[in-house]
Amino acid sequence: MRSFSYMRADSEAAALQQAEPSDVQFLAGGTTLVDLMKLDVLRPAQVVDITPLRRGPAGEIRADGDGLRLGALVSMAEAAAHPAVQSGYPVLADSLRLAASAQLRNMASLGGNLLQRTRCPYYRDTSWHACNKREPGSGCAALEAPNRMHAVLGTSPACIATYPGDLAVALVALDAMIDLASEGGRRSLRVADLHRPPGETPERETNLAPGEMILAIEIPAMPWARRSLFLKIRDRASYEFALASAAVALDLQDGVIRQARVALGGLATVPWRAHEAEQALEGKRPSDDVFEAAAEVALVDAQPLRGNGYKVLLGKRTIIRALRQAASMEI
């Protein structure tokens, strides 16, 4: 690990006062940041510890008629255990509960979770030369090497790294927003616009400005989100990132799907909203045929490689299974 200067920020203002924003990393739970600094992948000159902000609004969960507001420094464990999350947004609670481990969920913040980096092994291990995300222009080792874990959606010839997180997938399905602050002021952004597909610049992972801070996640009121779930498929029964995941919500009235939400994880370079699948569901009565058709369109643009071809079929099956389960939920 390279040396850095450490600063503890007791207020939002203090956190945003940065000499050189592009050299700053915020420290929340540290479970991504410290890990990647040890691996020499991230080398910030300054680390700004924002955990004291937990004592303010950034550490609060608020639920009211307008929806749900989750402070960026709320831990994954707290959010997963919150009654409003569990009852109103099962998809969200599941996405947190099924992620990482109990220890990591105690440490990790929601804001940090959204900004976790890919688990692509060639990115995480600096002894591999070719990684466009880590060293722009160096190539992509994963295209030809074992790539069982890599993405089939949203890839580019420059990078096929999977976005590994679970929470963001649920949030994208729920049309969530994030509140941001920087020295220049505040703004909000759709979670769906936070992560950038790799394109030709995989090193630019998000649409945050350097030094910009996430304050909170806002989830709109959505009563029918009670019929929602997050299905995560992995080899191990726990403590593993998704090979494929689906966040689904169904507005089922009188046996007809009025509205549907489908987002995918483990399959794509960014949290992936499957709008076409949603359209294929809306107005239909739930049935295996309808679910299969929706799954089919969701992966129609998939671009499999040697090691991850199975993800196309697995992705479809994950969607079908999630939809079947959601349709039969007792709510």
Partner 1 sequence: MSKAAPPPQDGMGEPVPRIDARAKVTGAALYAADFPVANAAHAVLVISNVAKGSIRGIDLFAAKATPGVLLVLTRENAADAVKRPSYFAEGGHASTKERPLSSDRIWHDGQIVAMVVADSYEIACDAASRIGVTYDETRPAGKLGGPGTETVAASAVNKKHKDPMVGDAERAYESAPFKIEVELETPTQHHNPIELFATTCLWSDGKLTIYEPSQFVYGLKHGVAEQLGIDPTDIRVVSPFVGGAFGSKGSVTPRTALVAIAARQLGRPVKLVVARDQGFTVATYRAETRHRIRLAAARNGKLLAYQHEAWELTSRIDDYLVGGTEATTRLYAVPNAATKVNIVRADRNTPGFMRSPPEVPYVYAYEAAINELAEVLGMDPVELRRVNDTHKDPITGAPFTSRSLMRCYDEAARAFGWSHRREPPGTASDGDWLIGWGCASALYPTQMSVAAARVRLVRSGAAHVEIAAHDLGTGAYTVLAQAAAEGLGLRPEAISVTLGESSLPPGPVAGGSITTASCCNVVAKACGQIREKLSRAVAQAKDGPLAGTNRRMLQFANGRIVDSRGNGEGLDQALDRLGTGAIEEYAEWIPHGAKPEGLQKLYRGSLDIVGGPMEDRVAFAFGAEFVELRINRYTREIRVPRIVGAFASGRIMNTRTAHSQYMGAMIWGIASALHEETELDERTARYVNKNLADYQVPVNADIGEVEVIMVPEVDRLVNPLGIKGIGELANVGTAAAIAEAAYRATGKRVRKLPIRIEDLL
Partner 2 sequence: MKVNGQLHRLSLDVRTTVLDTLRERLGLTGTKKGCDHGQCGACTVLADGQRVLSCLTLAAAAEGKEITTIEGIAGPVGALHPMQQAFIDHDAFQCGYCTPGQIMSAIGCVREGQAGSEPAIKESMSGNLCRCAAYPKIVAAIRQASGEMRGS
Ligand X SMILES: Cc1cc2nc3c(=O)[nH]c(=O)nc-3n(C[C@H](O)[C@H](O)[C@H](O)COP(=O)(O)OP(=O)(O)OC[C@H]3O[C@@H](n4cnc5c(N)ncnc54)[C@H](O)[C@@H]3O)c2cc1C
- Tell me, what amino acid is at 213? M
C-beta of 118: minimal distance to ligand X in Å? 11
Residue given tokens 């927003």 in the structure block: 177
Dist CA 117 CA 106 (whole Å): 19
Q: In angstroms, how far is CA 103 from the centroid of its own chain? A: 19
Q: Residue 30's CB: how many other CB atoms inside 10 A?
A: 18
Q: Per rule CB under 6 A, is residue 90 in the interface with ligand X?
A: no
Q: Which of residues 106-145 bind partner 1 (CB under 8 A)?
A: 119, 121-122, 125-129, 141, 144-145
Dist CA 41 CA 37 (whole Å): 6
Which of ligand X, partner 1, partner 2, none has residue 61 at its interface (CB below 5 to 8 Å by kind)? none
Stretch that binds partner 1, among 69-77, 184-192, 263-271, 313-321 (CB under 8 A): 313-321
Q: Per rule CB under 6 A, is residue 161 in the interface with ligand SF4?
A: yes
Q: Per rule CB under 6 A, is residue 132 in the interface with ligand SF4?
A: yes
Stretch that binds partner 2, among 26-34, 60-68, 131-139, 304-312 (CB under 8 A): 26-34
Q: Which is nearer to ligand X, 181 or 250 (CB)?
A: 181
Extract the tokens encoding 234: 């992995």
**Among the residues of the chain, which ranges form H helices?**
12-16, 33-38, 76-81, 83-88, 90-97, 102-107, 110-114, 121-124, 167-173, 275-281, 288-298, 310-327
Which of ligand X, ligand SF4, partner 2, none has residue 109 at its interface (CB below 5 to 8 Å by kind)? ligand X
Q: Which is nearer to partner 1, 10 or 125 (CB)?
A: 125
Q: Per rule CB under 6 A, is residue 26 in the interface with ligand X?
A: yes
Extract the tokens encoding 151: 């993405």
The length of the chain is: 331
Checking DSSP bridges between strand 213-220 and strand 67-71, what pairing results, if any? antiparallel
Q: Per rule CB under 6 A, is residue 268 in the interface with ligand SF4?
A: no
Q: Per rule CB under 6 A, is residue 116 in the interface with ligand X?
A: yes
Binding residues (CB under 8 A) for partner 2: these are 1, 3-6, 8, 27, 29-31, 34-35, 37-39, 47, 49, 51, 77, 100-104, 106-107, 236-239
